[in-house]
Amino acid sequence: MKTLMKIAWRNIWRNRLRSAVVIVSIILGIWAGVYVSAFSFGLNDQRKASMIENQISHVQMHHPSWTEDQNVNYLLKEVLQVENWLTEQGISKYAFRLKANGMAATAHYSGGVQIIGIQAENENRLTGLGERVDSGDYLNDQGRNPILIGAALAEKLEVKPGSRVILSFSDGQQDLVSAAFKVRGIYHDVSSQIEKMQVYVRDDDLQNLLSLAPKQYHEMAFLLDDNTQVEEQAILAQAAFPKEKLATWKTIAPELAYADEVMATSLYFIIGIIMLALSFGIINTMLMAVLERRKELGVLMSVGMSRPRVFSMVILETLYLALMSGPVGIIAGYLSIQTSAKSGLDLAMFSDGLSSYGIGAIIYPSLPNSFYFGTAAIVFTMTLLAALYPARRALKLNPVETMRTL
């Protein structure tokens, strides 16, 4: 076997240029596939992280009927008890919210919005809303009816800090309520759709307009420091407050969880397609090597080399190509990912399109370690399959006829 391996190794380097071209092609193909996969994982991870941290949080609590019908009368029943429980659990990133669907209007534009009444300090600690205010100031206790508006909506309404906006919505008695709000600040979000739809006001201002008592809310959301504890903490919260309905981010935004599940499968498929294309180059190279050496192979079979050994030799030559190029391609991809993961890839020129999908302009490529091993398995398998046809062709050579050829 050692002799056969030595012969196979030397055969590869008979035509150095051809072998080098195949090896470099495989390296570049694997590197490109791995890096594109990391870029795709980075896109998905950023979108998921942005939605969880800035919008939906890890866990939300509502009235049991809220998800079916967002009626302003479907309020949380145990707000004070929930606050005490959160403190006992050591959860500091939480906020209570009021929500009402209505219209925002100025002299230039009117459109549907979701009006969210927030606890300014808690909301900033939970979602970092105050840090996303680009123009003007964040909500505080000063002034009458201040409001935060998204940059995309502000452009449509043609407002700036200090401008007035009329909000119209229905209260708990289904009576139409209209009130003037003064724009305190304009915020940005990773999603331009959210900027167009969500406006933020103080919780006590919205409580008064909805004819609700203080400490009455439609929603509570909290964020954990440890992502692995989300399901466990949601179960504990549901057991502590059976009258309320708890939901994790996977239930609230199932498309985010589904994207995680299908991402790896889709990217393995992409790697497979790349290797399939490279396999034709490998087949062509090995087939040429077999045909060029058909007289030599005929002599070897004539002096006693069995056909299985000839078959194994061709297979070994092909696998050597994969063993030289596969690890180099994977390592090159790993190093490229580690380098760009620190600084990120600036896609500012595509920021408008990315923001519509809730993705920021800076992408940080990332890849699970298991994906590298999966890629190595695909490379080995596809290379082995590519070796079968040239090796089978070698078996069909007739020793007598091949020795007569020039």
| DSSP codes joined into one string, 328-350 | HHHHHHHHHHHHHHHH-EE-GGG
Based on its alpha-carbon atoms, the radius of gyration of the chain, rounded to whole angstroms, reads: 32
Dihedral through CA 285, CA 7, CA 297, CA 380, nearest 10? Answer: -40
- pLDDT tens-digit profile, the chain (406 residues): 677 777 777 777 777 887 888 888 888 888 888 888 888 888 888 888 888 888 889 999 999 999 888 888 899 988 999 999 999 999 999 999 999 999 999 988 999 999 999 999 999 999 999 989 989 999 988 889 999 999 999 999 999 999 999 999 988 788 899 999 999 999 988 777 888 999 999 999 999 999 888 889 999 999 998 888 999 999 999 999 999 999 999 888 887 777 767 777 777 788 888 888 888 878 877 777 776 666 666 676 676 677 777 778 878 888 888 888 888 998 998 898 888 877 777 666 665 565 555 566 677 788 888 888 888 888 888 888 888 887 777 766 666 566 565 4
In DSSP notation, 209-277 reads HTT--TT--SEEEE--S-GGGHHHHHHHHHHH-TTSEEEEHHHH-HHHHHHHHHHHHHHHHHHHHHHHH
Q: What are phi and psi of 401, to 5 degrees?
A: -70, -40
| Residue 128 Cα to chain centre, angstroms | 21
Contact 203, 115 (CB under 8 A): no
Domain ranges within the chain, ordered by starting residue: 2-52+256-404, 59-223
| Structure token digits, residue 249 | 């981010």
Query: Interhelix angle for 294-302 vs 254-292, to 10°?
Result: 70
For residue 181, the one-letter residue type is: F
Give the global pTM.
0.73
Closest CA relative to residue 70, chosen from 35, 116, 118: 116
Q: What angle do CA 243, 237, 55 make, to 5 degrees?
A: 100
Rounded distance between C-alpha atoms, residue 24 and residue 322, angstroms = 11
Dihedral through CA 50, CA 54, CA 55, CA 57, nearest 10? Answer: 90
Q: Hey, how many other C-beta atoms are within 10 angstroms of the C-beta on 180? A: 11
Q: What are phi and psi of 111, to 5 degrees?
A: -160, 165
**Residues in Cβ contact with 212 at an 8 Å cutoff, skipping those fewer than 6 apart:** 72, 75, 98, 172
Strands (E), 106-248: 110-118, 133-136, 146-150, 164-170, 176-187, 198-202, 219-222, 245-248
| Structure token digits, residue 395 | 């078996």
Rounded distance between C-alpha atoms, residue 145 and residue 204, angstroms = 10
